[in-house]
Amino acid sequence: MGVLLTKAAQWTTASSGTGKLEFTPMNEFLLKGILCFVEQFNFQHPQEAEHVFEEPLQWITTLVASDFKTDYDISGDVQSQEKDSEGHSLLQLSPPTVCVRSFSQLCKLVHLAGDKKLEEVRACLEENRDPLVKILGPFFANIMERGTVHTQDQAKDSEVKVRLFHLLQNMDKQLLANLLEEISEWLDPTSVKNEVELLKQFCTEGEKKVLKTVRYTSDYEFSNGCRAPLWRQLHGEICYLIIEPYDSEDFYITCSNAGVFLNGVGEQSGYDRTSDVYKDLVTLLKSRSPHFAENINNQVQWNIDRFTVINKKHPYRCPLLLQVVKSTLICSLLFSKDPARAMQVETFSESSSESEEEDEQLERRPENNIDLPAEYWQIQKLVKYLKGGDQTATVLTLCAMMDLNLMQETCQLAIRDVGGLEVLINLLDTDEVKCKIGSLKILRKISNNVQICRTTVEMGGLRCIVKILDSPVKELKALAAETIANIARFRRARRTVRQYDGIKKLVKLLDCVPNLTRLTADQEKDVDVARCGALALWSCSKSTKNKEAIRKAGGIPLLGRLLKSPHENMLIPVVGTLQECASEVSYRIAIQTEGMIKDLVKNLSSDNDELQMHCASAIFKCAEDQETRDLVRKYRGLQPLVLLLGKAENKQLLAAATGAIWKCSISMENVAKLQEYKALEILVGLLSDQPEEVLVNVVGALGEFAQIPANRATIRKYGGIKPLVNLLTGTNQALLVNVTKAVGACATDKDNMAFIDSLDGVRLVWSLLKNPSTDVQSSAAWALCPCIENAKDAGEMVRSLVGGLELIVNLLKSTNNEVLASICAAITKIAKDKENLAVLTDHGVVPLLARLTNTSDDRLRYNLAGAIGHCCMWGSNRVSFGDTGAVAPLVHYLKSKDSAVHKSTAMALYQLSKDPNNCITMHEKGVVKILKCNGQESHIHSHQWLNKYC
């Protein structure tokens, strides 16, 4: 609550103690987050909830005495029956003032407030502007303000207060993180940072100095990179600058998502805009500082071929490009409204690489100094006619523009550069259908350019396009949906479509009759509208929230109906949407229940590679579930999948087909069927010269095939062992997980194990225990178990691995239960060799195993008990287990519902019982009664131990 109230909350005044929280969306967000924290605190952290505050929180409440019932004395002033060590009530109400001394009472109060609970939280925070000081004292409040805490400092106060401090700190960070995440989706401070850093290059000494200083007004930077207060970030503001020129007063500048402008800070009028909005800092400075304008032109080259003049409605764009020349940064500010001034720019290398495809991309233009094509100037003239012509002229101009090559990037960006994009968007708000159709046809084509897509969204064009989805004109709806399909390739666009109810409107477009053999002209239009709607949903479905919106809008049954269409151009976007959404469990269930698996299997035999790829990909995702795997087999989909392996030149199709085979082979019934089609031999042949996305799936499938003993020999026969071992040296974590599983499965065959050992495979698997991924660690440890068990001389093999046993023991310090379970399983195998067990003991395996015994994870319990039982067979280890408190928790394992846990635990207790003190501990914990209740479910060792020692 410290950082929240000082850096995020919006107050009516700046003076401490007198301001009120403004009624703004940000404050509403913060108050709801704090309320949720307080409401759940008493149940989630009962011990910390009882902690008495250093000072009580007091405020004017809406509650009256009659609102308090049990647990309160209401004879006079309302007082809680709970009191602190000095006899003060933890809650006291002297209307209208309430005084609260613990989170327990605070939680009860907000529950009593009912629908006024948010009002109570607001009043509490307004009256207690620094609640941390009152809750924890000034020492902890200061630490939280700094954001750090030290162990020596913590030791000065109680353990409960330290835990409470961390809970409040985590809540503070979480709420800020959530808030910043919302804001960060539409603010990009990177471009501003780059421009500021480059402008600072002009503040250096010498003739090149054109500015005195460039500095931020705040040194505090939020995690999203912005420096403006959070409530100003909601207005699109990124940071504030003070730029000191040579020939005028200091400029106080606001950098925002809409551009840059002078603010009123220097004139004591706050954040208010006091100038026009400029597209970038250079333009602003040139218009305000003659000295800057005169000197900058001697150093900066302006080139219209590289970047675009952005009007006021366009978002903030960094016009600067970092250039590496002799290890120093120089500036290339590439803007010009006059083509005659365009000049050749030296070659450059970019200083940063692109992130993922849907993130902000730098605009790329040709490097060479070439003349602008004739289409550029033609488009410039046509846009002028669009701006000033009547309806007839507008339609004719749109037709003329359509005759140009609008798929060429130069033409696409030219439309934007000369203001044509804004005109096209404005035409969508007219009542003229022909103008709308012409505009959408152009937008549909040029929206293949990512820069055009972003600018369209930022100018509000997507709202107009979504609105057209309600039009009664079918051609308009189809064009609008197809344009949305192009634009919704990045996150902000997908979110915008959802916010304007575009998902619901697109789902409605799917309602048509596509399965008739003969369609009327009107029905054909309906089918085309549905196809375009499916295309748009396909693009939008890359968002998790949009997937849920599609489901809620009733999209699944409509997609299922369209899946029966005989037209490939309809099926591709429909199956594409389904396979995108199949990552969600709700969709996988719906795909099963709506009978779509049959249609997906049917379309695997299509002649269209893209359709086959999407169908296989959908099965790949859906086959996580047993029922889907059975349905694929039932509808004879396994053979078409194997046939797709023959199209090895199409890597996307091959990745989808191998993925589907991998998931289907989780069911052994499917493995037997796949063997009839010689799938195993084909998969072994795909172990080399394939991209990683294919190898992950191929190796995953081989790991499942190898669960059947006969297939392990087949893998060796067709030369699969060596390429599998070679893949152990890779870095792809998903591939390493699957490879270790496959190698481990193959190692259960003694002949395979000998071959693996000869290829140094065991050492490679062991080395993967050092991998930072816990998935790789656990998979490698599981693979070591059959390797050790089936090695000709397992003890010597393990000892030959320098540092291997120490690595195994150190992994017992992991916090991941799967890693711990697999390491315990490996220790069980290793400990069968006395020399190796002695080394494990020297490395401290006993106390580390004992520390894990309080787990409730049955998988870990089973392997842990096995490791403890085998480790008891050396020296005084069984005594050490008793001394470290491992015996009592093991007795409770016998209450598990897993009979396998009973067996391994009984064996461990049998070994531990050979020490008298351990027997006493077991007896005290009621082991005899538990064993008698378990009866035949426990292992024979339990009865031997019971009869002999108890």
- Model confidence band, residue 306 (pLDDT cutoffs 50, 70, 90): very low
- Model confidence band, residue 82 (pLDDT cutoffs 50, 70, 90): confident
- Model confidence band, residue 417 (pLDDT cutoffs 50, 70, 90): confident
According to the model, what pLDDT value does residue 354 have? 32
List the domain boundaries for the chain: 1-145, 189-288, 376-480, 793-947
Mean pLDDT lowest for which of 109-113, 351-355, 771-775? 351-355
Q: What burial class does residue 825 get, using C-beta atoms within 10 Å of its C-beta: 0-12 exposed, 13-18 middle, 19+ buried?
A: buried
Contact predicate 301/334, CB 8 Å? yes
According to the model, what pLDDT value does residue 311 have? 31
The yes-or-no answer to whether 376-480 and 793-947 have a common fold is yes
Between residues 514 and 472, the one the model is more confident about: 472
Residue 937 has pLDDT above 80, yes or no: no
According to the model, what pLDDT value does residue 327 have? 25
Residue 300 has pLDDT above 50, yes or no: no
Backbone dihedral region of 896: left (phi > 0), alpha (psi from -120 to 50 degrees) or beta? beta
* Helices 916-924 and 899-912: angle between axes, nearest 10 degrees: 140
Residue 305 has pLDDT above 60, yes or no: no
Between residues 905 and 222, the one the model is more confident about: 905
According to the model, what pLDDT value does residue 369 have? 35
Select 793-947's CATH number: 3.90.1150.10, 2.60.40.420, 1.10.1530.10, 1.25.10.10. 1.25.10.10
How many angstroms separate the CA atoms of 652 and 576, rounded? 13
How many angstroms separate the CA atoms of 573 and 555, rounded? 13
How many angstroms separate the CA atoms of 881 and 872, rounded? 8
3-state secondary structure (DSSP) of residue 55: strand
Residue-wise pLDDT for 12-25, tens only, equals 754 444 678 877 76
Residue-wise pLDDT for 529-575, tens only, equals 999 999 999 999 999 999 999 999 999 999 999 999 888 889 999 99
- Model confidence band, residue 516 (pLDDT cutoffs 50, 70, 90): low
Residue-wise pLDDT for 329-353, tens only, equals 223 333 333 333 333 232 222 333 3
Mean pLDDT lowest for which of 85-94, 132-141, 161-170, 362-371? 362-371
Tokens, residue 855: 């787990």
Nearest Cα to 382, choosing from 396, 371, 370, 369? 396
Give me the CATH topology for the region 376-480.
Leucine-rich Repeat Variant (1.25.10)
- Spatial strand order of the sheet with 78-80 comes to 52-60, 97-102, 91-94, 78-80, 72-73
Its pTM stands at 0.63
According to the model, what pLDDT value does residue 833 have? 92
According to the model, what pLDDT value does residue 50 have? 86
According to the model, what pLDDT value does residue 333 have? 34
Residues 6+ apart with CB under 8 A from 774: 814, 816, 818, 819
- Model confidence band, residue 4 (pLDDT cutoffs 50, 70, 90): low
Residue 72 has pLDDT above 70, yes or no: yes
Contact predicate 768/822, CB 8 Å? no
